[in-house]
Amino acid sequence: MDKILRINMGPDGGPQVKEESMGDYAGFGGRGLTSSIIAKEVPPTCHALGADNKLVIAPGLLSGSLAAMSGRISVGCKSPLTGGIKESNAGGQPSQMLGRLGYAAIVLEGKPKDDTLYKIYINKDGVKVEPDNSLKMLGNYDVVDKMKAEYGDKIGCVSIGQAGEMKLAGASVAFSDMEQRPTRHAGRGGSGAVMGSKGVKVIVVDDTDCPARAPKNPDAFKAANKAFVQGLRKHPVTGEGLPTYGTNVLTNVISEAGAYPTNNFQVGTFEGASKISGETQAELEIERGGKGANVHGCHRGCVIRCSGTFYDKNGRFLTKQPEYETVWAHGGNCGIDDIDAIAQIDRLDDDFGLDTIEMGATIAVAMEGGLAEFGDADAAINLVKEVGKGSPLGRILGSGAEVTGKVFGVERVPTVKGQAMPAYDPRAVMGIGVTYATTPMGADHTAGYAIATNILKVGGDVDPLKPEGQVELSRNLQIATAAIDATGMCLFIAFAILDQPDTFQALLDVINGFTGASMTADDVTALGKQILEMERDFNARAGFTPKDDRLPGYMKTEALPPHNITFEVSDDQLDQVFKW
């Protein structure tokens, strides 16, 4: 995995393909690599949909190896949603496949002269870029089906739906899963719109005849990987909660904690929580013919296996098991307690290529703006369908919560840096509020998942309802996360490595066994800081200031029931997060 594949979509004669060595980027992977390339090569004030922006798709340092959990992939660009740097992270198959093919990153550059749509095919023999306007305005499911018909069933696909083609800021990049369905998305920040602006509909990856990447030190690697897997299996979250119920195990937990944003962040507890909880969902899936949650990982090599399959009332596949964030966004946040309706929207989002978090937050803002009643599932489904149609209303919604708030004159818009907040109200979990406010990514729970310590009591115990300790918590998590996102490892390993020192050591041993390096805990911290500093520097050069590291004003004045609490971390405290 020592090559960068650059595809310039801009030249007059059509796309140009170039393979480069890693050069200055050697040693970086995943988010470390996407952020390095964006920070170094993209002018921070450029238009996100213009020729100067780049879309970087990078497996992690360990992707393509046999290391457990190493199949996540990073997508980087200047975000059309936030105007800042973006790394969005997904599962799916392409990460391991690109790793095996030897690509540390694909970089899409330039901008085509016309509206021809392209497909890219990558296998061991090389790279083909071909126009294919028959793909225009297809959903992700149809695109993947067409690619399977064309290239066989060993492929992985990286694709955009209608939303990406329309260059909407809520558009995702889809990664096909082990069943070759486009269910794993780099959702946040509109990376799909950037792919659309490059005129690329789908990248087909075929790693036939490419073996797993060989570790430098096979015995050490194998032993460490075994210890690492054991560590994951013994921790209650990664060994039990997530495999049994999937991420949606959180619905009841967060609602009971009074931190479940309901009806566009008006209330912290959702009456209908139990009807859409992971427990209910798992039961339903088994009842309808599935095997419960823990049949899959989202990628090859996963041992946590928190993914599942959602079957409709007739027992037919409808969509992947909707994630907690999705169930919240399209469920409680819109006052909807109908899991079938939520799953139907999940399918629509995946097909159109939309970030489920941004879309759920957007529908709730639209509801507050009077477009539908909270709780009206049919209306919510119809609103999402508008995006697929490309109607003016659909384009508004597909542009995200901030634009929707502007267009419909709604003041209560739960965004930071233009990106919608995920499924935890920062007033009732102040640690996650610090992360939302300060991460270079815009409101993003994965950037420093303080829920772990605030609510789940993993890695310590910091009272979620008090401002004390939240800055340190978020800072440490943001640093650790940036490093994990560079490895290609799933972020969920954090639960085990935060609580179990031997599992953290096993992770280091896995990395060192694979790379032959001798990385220490301090090196991990240094890497995390380095990545964050690059990202913050990009944003500063794009014009961001501490004023952008703030929650929306109403969260400081409007108390959230049932705790009747506002966000109490001061601006001065927020400004301490990156002072290490």
Q: Which residues bind a second copy (CB under 8 A)?
A: 43, 45-47, 49-50, 52, 80, 166-169, 193, 196-197, 391-393, 395-396, 399, 403, 406-409, 411, 541-543, 545, 547-548, 550, 552-554
Partners of 85 in beta bridges: 78
Min CB(392)–a second copy separation in Å? 4
Which residue, 117 or 276, has its beta carbon nearer to a second copy?
117
Which residue, 458 or 542, has its beta carbon nearer to a second copy?
542
Amino acid at 182: P
CA separation, residue 340 to residues 322, 331, 366, 407 (Å): 10, 10, 21, 30
H or E segment to which residue 104 belongs? strand 103-109
Which residue, 73 or 397, has its beta carbon nearer to a second copy?
397
Min CB(362)–a second copy separation in Å? 12
Which residue, 80 or 241, has its beta carbon nearer to a second copy?
80
Which residue, 120 or 551, has its beta carbon nearer to a second copy?
551
Min CB(547)–a second copy separation in Å? 3
Min CB(116)–a second copy separation in Å? 16
Min CB(447)–a second copy separation in Å? 21
Min CB(464)–a second copy separation in Å? 25
Which residue, 47 or 154, has its beta carbon nearer to a second copy?
47
C-alpha span between 153 and 459 (Å, rounded): 42
CA separation, residue 333 to residues 127, 323, 380 (Å): 43, 14, 11
Angle between helices 30-41 and 521-541 (to 10 degrees): 30
C-alpha span between 16 and 563 (Å, rounded): 57
- Contact indicator for 556, 566 with CB cutoff of 8 Å: yes
Report the Cα 32 to chain-centroid distance in Å. 15
Closest among 20, 32, 44, 42 to 74, alpha carbons compared: 32
Min CB(52)–a second copy separation in Å? 8
Min CB(396)–a second copy separation in Å? 6
Closest among 436, 504, 420, 521 to 470, alpha carbons compared: 436
C-alpha span between 259 and 270 (Å, rounded): 9
SS (H, E, C) 191-217: HHHHHHHCCEEEEEECCCCCCCCCCCC
C-alpha span between 435 and 446 (Å, rounded): 9
Q: What is the DSSP letter of 322?
A: P
Min CB(43)–a second copy separation in Å? 8
**What does residue 424 show for φ and ψ, rounded to 5 degrees?**
-140, 125
Which residue, 13 or 409, has its beta carbon nearer to a second copy?
409
Which residue, 419 or 503, has its beta carbon nearer to a second copy?
419
Which residue, 94 or 400, has its beta carbon nearer to a second copy?
400
Write out the two tokens for 576: 């301490």
